[in-house]
Amino acid sequence: MDSLGLFILLMLLCFQWTTAPAGKEATWTYTGLVGQSEWSQYFPECAGTSQSPVDVVTTQTKYDPSLLPLTPLGYSQHGNKPFSLYNNGHTVVIKLPEWMGLGGLPWLYTAVQMHLHWGSGGPSHGGAEHTINGQSADAELHVVHYNSELYPDMSTAMMQSDGLAVLGILIVTGEETNTAFNNILNYLSRIRHADQKVFIPAFDIQSLLPKDLGRYYRYNGSLTTPPCYQSVIWTLFNERVQISQTQLLKLETILYSSKSEESDRMLLQDNYRATQLLNHRVVFASFSAESGKELSSGEVTAIVIGVMCGCVGLAVIIRFIVKTIRFFTLLHRESVVVNSSTSSWDVLPSNRPAPMLRMKEPEKGKEKKQDMALKSTSEAEKKEEPSPSPQTEP
C-alpha cells in the first residue's frame, strides 16, 4: 500500500508538471508576451493553413447558386429563461439555449454561445475580424453552433472538421441606435471585470442579425482564438448591421480583461485577430457580385457620364469612318471614270449595281440587302471581272 501511495503521489506531481505549461492557456492575449504571433508556440493549430479570420476579396470569390438562405431556428423563441452574460477576459459571452439552431447547412447545428470582437479607436478604426476587400468594420458578432447530428457536444465537435458553424456579423457605426444591441450593452457595467457573470432578460437573438440572410460568404476556417481548431464552417453575411457611436464607445470602454482582485486594471480592447492567409482555400458567395452590388448615387452619376462620353466618342468615330469610306468610294469612282477612257468595259457593271446581284443570289440577299447596296459598286466590279464579256465594248 505504501508503494501505491508513493506511486500516486509521483503521478500527481508528474501531472502537475506536465499541466503547468497548459496553465498558459488562460494567459494568451492579443498583444504582449503571448500575443497573436506567439499563439502557435502554445497552440500549434494556430499555425495551420486554414485559419480565420480572412480578408474576403470579392472579385476572387466563387458564386455558388446552391448556397441557400440560412434559417435561424428558434432564435426568436427565447422563452423566459434569462441568458447568462459572462466576461471571460477575452470577450463578452452570451450562452444560448440548446433549442436554438441553424438550418440550411448539410447537418443540423445547435447554438452554443455568441460573443463580440471590437477595437479601441472609435468608428472607422477597426475592431472586426473578417475584412472585405481589405476594409475593416468596427466590431463583429459571432454566433457559434456545433454539429449536433454527428457529435454529442461542443467540446467533441470543436475538434472535427465539420464540427462547428459560426455566423459572422460585421458591425459598423452610424447615426441610429440599434435597440437590439442594448439587450447586451446595457448590462456590460455589471461584468466589468474578467470572470464576472450576470443574468440578463432573454431577448430575440434574430434581431441582432442583418435582415438579408440570403447573401453571404462561405468558407472553411478556424476558431479565431486559441486553440484555433480548424473546425469551423464560416458564414459571413454581406449585409452589415449598424450601431450608434455611443453604443460602440460602451463596447470599447466598459470591460476589463483583468480580474477584480488584480490591482492593475487592463481595458478589454482590440480583441480581434489579424486576417490569416487563405492559402489553398476558396471563399464561396451565395450571390453573384454583379447583381449584388448596390450602387451609390456617385457611382450612378459616374456611370451615366461615362456612358454618355462613350456614346459621343463612338458617334464621332463612326462619323469619321463613314466619311472616310465615302471619300475613298468617290476617289475610286473617279479613277474608274478616268480609266474608262482607255479600258472601258468594266465601267458598265458599276453603272447598274444592286439589281443584278439580287437576281443572281435571291435566297442569301434578304438580310444583306442594305450591306450589298452599299458595297455593290465595288463588289459588282470584282464579280464581273472574271466573266468574259468583252462584247459590251462600245
> Residue 227: CB partners within 8 Å, gap ≥ 6?
25, 43, 45, 46
Q: How far is the CB of 240 from ligand NAG (least distance, A)?
A: 21
Contact pick of 219, 229, 256, 287 for ligand NAG (by CB under 6 A): 219
Residue 160 burial class via C-beta count within 10 angstroms: exposed 0-12, middle 13-18, buried 19 and up = middle
Specify the DSSP element, H or E, that contains 327: helix 297-340
Q: How far is the CB of 278 from ligand NAG (least distance, A)?
A: 11
Q: Which is nearer to ligand NAG, 184 or 228 (CB)?
A: 228
Site for ligand NAG in 142-171 (CB under 6 A): 161
Contact pick of 220, 244, 340, 344 for ligand NAG (by CB under 6 A): 220
Q: How far is the CB of 62 from ligand NAG (least distance, A)?
A: 9
- Among 217-225, 267-275, 291-299, 332-340, which window interacts with ligand NAG (CB under 6 A)? 217-225
For the record, the C-alpha cell of 2 comes out as 505504501
Is 90 designated active site?
yes
User: Is residue 130 close enough to count as binding ligand NAG by CB under 6 A?
Assistant: no
Preceding peptide of 210 cis, ω within 30°? no
> Residue 363: CB partners within 8 Å, gap ≥ 6?
none
User: Is residue 287 close enough to count as binding ligand NAG by CB under 6 A?
Assistant: no
d(CA 139, CA 152): 32
DSSP secondary structure of 185-215: HTTGGGS-SBT-EEEE----GGGGS-S--S-
- Judge whether 109 and 165 are in contact, CB under 8 Å: yes
- Among 75-83, 199-207, 212-220, 329-337, which window interacts with ligand NAG (CB under 6 A)? 212-220
User: Is residue 284 close enough to count as binding ligand NAG by CB under 6 A?
Assistant: yes
Residue nearest to ligand NAG (CB): 220
Q: Which is nearer to ligand NAG, 131 or 231 (CB)?
A: 231
Q: Which of 374, 122, 137 is nearest to 242 (CA)?
A: 137
- Among 83-91, 180-188, 215-223, 314-322, which window interacts with ligand NAG (CB under 6 A)? 215-223
Specify the DSSP element, H or E, that contains 147: strand 139-147
Catalytic residue among 78, 90, 117, 145: 90
DSSP secondary structure of 295-316: PPHHHHHHHHHHHHHHHHHHHH
- Among 5-13, 138-146, 216-224, 310-318, which window interacts with ligand NAG (CB under 6 A)? 216-224
Q: Where does this chain bind ligand NAG (CB under 6 A)?
A: 161, 218-220, 282, 284
Catalytic residues: 90
